[in-house]
Structure formats: structure tokens, C-alpha cells
Structure 1
């Protein structure tokens, strides 16, 4: 049985739909996990400079603190999706929340960078458990396509609001209570999420499926080796023995994974779904989108503090005008999604985000703050449409029967994009002399990723949508 087959489930089942529960409570329960996961990334970006100072961490250690979380997150998502199929999405969702809760407490109590990195790795594992299950539960809770699309927009808006307010909240908490407080914030949010999920979300029955454990282990090894090379390469040297060894591990692990996927029945990745251009396009867009969005967020949090002298609270306030448009655009998407197809929306707003980002390639010490805020704010308006749009495009392409595996694949590709994007920004900031020159090169990479995503969205999503609509007519 393939992973794609293992992900199959009825489009809706009596146990998964509870008409007695208001939609708002369902959405609030299912968004809680995403809120914690997203809030953690944005808050840690603002706290990065303080963590460097208090724990005496290097730039590569700080990158591990951010990217270590993303590494386990990205590498375990596919395995977590299969586990959700086997044990039931609600059960795995709450397992993930519990792991994340305990790991957040460990982060807050960490006395040094090594233990903080270890706790962040466990946090990522918890996030990997609840993220795909959250999307799956949403699909099963709202089986009617029109309502599901609207709920996806609202769900994304809740998550985006927390992301938008995250830097400001994080800056305030770091300034008032220390960097540890940003992890303690997850404790009440996690407790509320578990309570609401048990009370308002009906369970979805698991299926007897076989997990592709050897393939997943190989996948994890490959991603870990890539991360080591990208993060440690600038400091150790790109030809250092340890870095060269990591290249070799990547090549061997990739070869083993490809060989296994060609002959195994239970696959790590549902390759058959990638034969559909819309499914493949949504995943490529997801990778490039997260590369750009989270890479730029990581860079901006450091840039405002190191190059412009802001403290954590000031940096949080300065990021607010750039990020507040993200949730507003999510709400706009929920209103316009019924009138416009996802493909054209993605192509247009990825183009907008790309052009806005490229205007910042001339950034310098004399660039007014409002210019930076305007450019990044316009890019984030585009991002606010892109995020729910690509999720809806993926769900439409895969169908509700593949909800678990589709959500796992998209989130894995998105987190892989975050992993590479954050590491790439770290490489640039480590190797390019001067914060302003480094920021300019980062904006060039971000803008290029958005523009590449726009082209892919037009070719692989918008055009097939038009052909499908014409055939139906």
C-alpha cells in the first residue's frame, strides 16, 4: 500500500462532522497548534539578538536554534501524516500539542545554547505531529467545498494574526521578562488548545496502514546533513572535512531513498499525486513561499537590531506595520476566493511580493524606515493571499480523500523551504561584509524566490484550472 493510498479516507464520515458545534469553535481549536508553531518562529526571530547576548551564542548557533526546530519539523511531517492515518488525526494532533508543551517548558529552562537547541529539536517534533493533523481535521470537519474554502481563509487569518502580532508581543515580553518568556507563552495556549480539541472536535478513525520507517529515517538523515552543511559551512569552511562528509551523507542518503522508493510498496512520498500539475505546483510554490517569507523574517529581526540599533521591543514595533497586513489579506482571501480561481490569485500576488522585495536591493544606512516598512508590508499583503490560496489549491488538487497525506506533503515542502531560506540568509549574513549589503543580497534572494513562484503558479496551477473549467463547461 502506498502512502497516498494510506492517506485515503472517506470525504466525510459521521464521526468527523459535528453539526452541533459552531464553526468558530472548531476553527479556534484547530488553529491553536498552528498559532503556537508560527508564533514560535516569529517571536524567536525578534529574541535572536538577546539570546545571542545572554547565552553567548554565535550566528551559526542562533541559526541552529531557529533551524533546528524547522529541521525536525520538516523531516518528521510525512511520518506524522502516516501516523495520523494509523492512529487517528485527533489523537495525533493532541499528542503533538503535549510534546510541544513540554518542549517549550524545556526551552524556557535551558541554561545554554546546546540545551536550547536540543529542546527546539523536540519542539519541532511536536509541531510535526499536530500540523498535518490540523489540516486533516479541518477538511473532515467541513466537507462542503465552499464552506471549507471559507474556513481555510479564516483559519489562515487566525494563524496570520498571531504571526503578525508575534514580533511585537515577543519584543515586549523579551524586554519585560527576558527571552525565556517567549517559550512560556506556549504553555497556556497549548493547554487551551488541547481542551478545545477534546471538547469540540470529533475523532476521525484511524486505518490499518504500514509506516515507511526506513525511508523516513533516510529522509531525516539527508535533511540533517543538508542543514549541517548550510549552517556550519560559512564558519568551518565549505571544504572542511566535516562539511565535505555531510555532502557525502546527502548523496548516499538520497541514493538510498530513491532506490527504496522505486521498489517499495509503502512510500515516503506520494509520487503519484505529483503527476498532477496543480498538486506539484502548489508544493513548489509552498517551498519558495516559505523560503522567502521566513528567510526574510529571520533576516529582518537581526537587521533592525544590529544595523539600526533597535532593542527587542523597538524591533517588534517596527516589524508590526510590515506584518499586520498578512492577517488582513487572509480575511480578504476568504471574501474573494469564491470569485477568483486560486491559480491566478497566486500568480498575481506572488508577483506583487517579488517586485516589492526587489525594491529593497538598494537598501542602505540612509534608507528611511518607512520605505522598508512599505516594501515589506506590500510583500506581506501578497503573502496573506498566497498562504491560504496555495493550501486551497492543494486540497482541491488532492481531494478530501487524500487530506492527511496532502497536508503532510505541503507542510513538509513549506518547512523545507523555511529550513533552506533561514540557513541561506544565515550564509549571506555570515559571508557578506556589512549588515546593509547583507540585507540587500537577502532581499534579492527573497524577490527571486517570489517571482519564480509566480511563474510556477501560472504555468502549473492557473492554466490547468482553466483547462479543467473549460472541459466542465
Structure 2
């Protein structure tokens, strides 16, 4: 799930705040529409996976591309989308992204086969990468007063968290009642409302003449695409197949060229100087591992309920509701406890709880009672729900308000890469262990390991950074 802004976000220096006479609620609705669509599309597709497979005769690797293709393009173009928003104007780029996402959603709903659906999902990723950073920028600038901005960012976070929490259940309801194509048609009214409200009530921001690191972004995309191809197609083609050897070579060459370019570039793809700060590096490592576990596990879990336990999409969505609703509930808990505990301590504790709960289900099978699975996943998600706002706050604390927008873009990009790799790795495991009485347990164990590794990063990097800051005050 993309990371919304935090209370520490402030309008960038030199950029005038946007003032509009429109109702704050209408502006918030306009700028939340994109986030809602992007968040729902990550979660509802998981529940629709088995129905898509049966209707389009898709293989497991094709289903993985349907999920990961969107995340691949979204994550790889996110930083470029932020640069375009600065250069061309956030409102213009936001509307472009919404229009592209709208058309691509219609293409997904009308897709005649798996290949067409994959292509439409790739185009959806382009749209999301355009409107996501623009949405954050417009929201921050639309509410120049700190108190109002804090309140609106809190509401925005709640909207996004609720969308993520209800996504699987909404998906199950739609797939069960109207078929899998309806989950993409849902984007159409949301997209139209978002575009019309933005045109009418959101004021354009000033344009900043920034240079775009196009060669670096091309190398970044090539490296991620090669990694994705290797992970997704490896189980089907064989890890030593000719196409896989080509992807390894592309990954090595593009990755090496990117590192060489970034070392000497005046305008790098990433703000590498910020990674020298332990808290910033720790938040990004936590973000990658957290999304690996959360969304990789969600992809696997929806398949487990339908393939192993024999649930239909509606029942699977309803069974996931008590577990996924824990995420927005925990977001609210964070708002109450964050003033009493440091972010490093909260992240460490909650990630350890989520990791232990996930790893405890390593023996799960089709015969495991539902309440046992619901309890394990629910406890893990309670911990995960506190992690998301906690890591964002730790990131902004480390980067400083003046770097908040670029820091948020970097964290979002790393989190999307974590989702990409997590879904692909779960697909590899399920292909290697096709027995549905053993495969999900291995996946749950991997999720637990990812969460525990993230807890170690939080303790070693974020907590250490906070102690160092406290000692210098």
C-alpha cells in the first residue's frame, strides 16, 4: 500500500501554498480518489485471482504478472512521476494519471485473455505512478495551515487504510455477485468523480524547472523488469533457460550501469545522501521487508482460502474481513500511542509480534480450523497496521520536513519493490511446493522471517538514530 503523508510534511521551500475557496472535504475527496483506486487495485485483485485463472485459462505465472505487472511499472516510474509533477505542474500530471488509469481500468474489464489483461495492468501502473506523487504534493499545498493540514492528512491516511482493509471483502463481494471484471469497473465512477472534482476545486501549483534523470530511470526500469521476469518465469521456464540467462545479463548490466551513473550523476535517480542517515536507511529497509511480507502474504492467503480450503470468492472475502480490518484499527491505535513511545521501539515490537504470529502458522493446512488462521493473521495485521504510519514518521523525522516529499517518494518506491518481490517469491514457492497442504505454511514462514528481519533493521538503525539525536539535544 502506498504511504500517505505525515504531520511533518510541509510545503517545499519556495513554493507558494495553494489556496482555494472550495470546501476542504471536496478537495480531500478529489485528491483521495487516486489513492483509493490504487490501493483497491492492489488488494481486490488478490481475491479475484482464482476466478481470473479459470475464466481466462491463465497459468500461475500469468496470474503473478497480472498482480506484479502493475506493481512493477508503478514502483519503477514513481520517482519519475514526482519529477514530472514538479516540472509540468502537479495538477496537470495528476489529471493525466487519473485519465490513464481510467482508460486502463476499462481495458482490464474488457480484456479477452490473460495477455491483454497483463498489458492493461501495466498501463494502470503508468497512471498510478503519475497521480500518486502529484496527489501528495497537491494535498500538502492545498492546506497551508499546519493544524488543518495535519487533520486532512490524518483523514487521508484513514481513507487509504480503510480502502486497504475493506479491499479483499469488496473484491469478494463484487466477484461473487458480478464476476471478476466488476472489480475494474469499480474504478470508473471513482475516476470520473476524482477528475471532475479536481478540475473544479483543486488549484494548479507553481511549476519548478527541475531536470529529469531520464537515463537513470531507464536503467532502473530495465533492472526491475529483468528481476521480475526472472522471478516470475523461472519456475515455468526453468532457472537455466535461455530467456532467464538473458534476464540475468540485463539485470547485471543495467544494475551495474545504474550504480556507475549514480556515483557521478549531478541529478541522480535517488537522493543517496539521505541514505547516509541511519534512520532514513532503516525506514526504507523496513518498508521493503514490510511490503514483502504483507502483500506477498496477502497474495498467497487469498489463493490458500480458495484453492486449499475450497472457498468461493465471496466467502473468501468475508473470511478475510476480520483480519484485514485490523490494519485501519491499528492505524488509529498508533495515533494514540505514538506520543508515548519512540518510533523505533514501536516498530521493533510490532514487527516482532507480526513475525511471530506469521511464523506460528508454518504448519497451516486445509484442515486447520478457520479461527486459528483468523487469529494468527489478525494478530500479525494488528502489528502491521502500526508499522505503516510508524515507518513513515521515522522516515520524515530522519529526512527532515524540507526533504519530506522526496523522502516519501523514495519510501513508496521501495515499498512497491518489496510488494513486487514478495508476490513473485510467493509464486515461486507455490510453484515449487504445489501441495496446498504444505505450500502456504512455507509462505507464512517466509512472511514471518521478513517481518523479524524488518524488526532487526528498526532496532539497529532507527532506534540507534533516535538515541543519537536525543543525546545531541
Tell me the TM-score normalised to structure 2 length.
0.93
SS of residue in 2 equivalent to 1:203: coil
CA distance in 1, matches of 2:133, 2:283: 16
After superposition, the Cα gap between the structure-2 partners of 1:136 and 1:456, relative to the gap in structure 1 and judged at 3 Å, is farther
Name the residue aligned to 1:409.
410
After superposition, the Cα gap between the structure-2 partners of 1:392 and 1:27, relative to the gap in structure 1 and judged at 3 Å, is farther
SS of residue in 1 equivalent to 2:360: helix
Name the residue aligned to 2:118.
117
After superposition, the Cα gap between the structure-2 partners of 1:164 and 1:189, relative to the gap in structure 1 and judged at 3 Å, is same
CA distance in 1, matches of 2:139, 2:341: 22
Q: Is the 8 A contact 2:15 2:206 kept in 1?
A: no
Once the two structures are superposed, what CA deviation does each residue of 1:373-393 show, in whole Å capped at 9, x if it has no partner?
111111111121111221222
1:440 aligns with 2:438: no
The 5 Å alignment of 1:135-146 reads: 135-142=136-143
1:299 aligns with 2:303: no
Q: Is the 8 A contact 1:79 1:216 kept in 2?
A: yes
Once the two structures are superposed, what CA deviation does each residue of 1:226-277 show, in whole Å capped at 9, x if it has no partner?
0000000001001111111111110011111111112221111111111111
Per-residue deviation at 1:91? 2.4
| Count of residues in correspondence between the two structures | 465
CA distance in 1, matches of 2:347, 2:130: 28
The 5 Å alignment of 1:18-417 reads: 18=19, 24-142=25-143, 151-417=152-418
Q: Is the 8 A contact 2:365 2:436 kept in 1?
A: no
Deviates more, 1:64-73 or 1:359-368: 359-368
Aligned-pair Cα RMSD in Å: 2.1
SS of residue in 2 equivalent to 1:361: coil
CA distance in 1, matches of 2:27, 2:335: 17
Q: Is the 8 A contact 1:82 1:405 kept in 2?
A: no
Per-residue deviation at 1:20? 5.4
Per-residue deviation at 1:13? 6.6
Name the residue aligned to 2:5.
none
Q: Is the 8 A contact 1:27 1:151 kept in 2?
A: yes
CA distance in 2, matches of 1:315, 1:95: 35
Give structure 2 stretches of 5+ with no counterpart: 1-8
CA distance in 1, matches of 2:195, 2:459: 39
Once the two structures are superposed, what CA deviation does each residue of 1:168-193 show, in whole Å capped at 9, x if it has no partner?
11111112111111000001111222
Name the residue aligned to 2:3.
none
Deviates more, 1:29-38 or 1:74-83: 29-38
After superposition, the Cα gap between the structure-2 partners of 1:420 and 1:427, relative to the gap in structure 1 and judged at 3 Å, is same
SS of residue in 1 equivalent to 2:206: coil
- The runs of at least 4 aligned residues of structure 1 exceeding 6 Å deviation read 144-147
Q: Is the 8 A contact 1:85 1:404 kept in 2?
A: no
Q: Is the 8 A contact 1:11 1:143 kept in 2?
A: no
Q: Is the 8 A contact 1:49 1:305 kept in 2?
A: yes
Deviates more, 1:79-88 or 1:22-31: 22-31
Once the two structures are superposed, what CA deviation does each residue of 1:278-317 show, in whole Å capped at 9, x if it has no partner?
1111111111111011001100111100000001111111
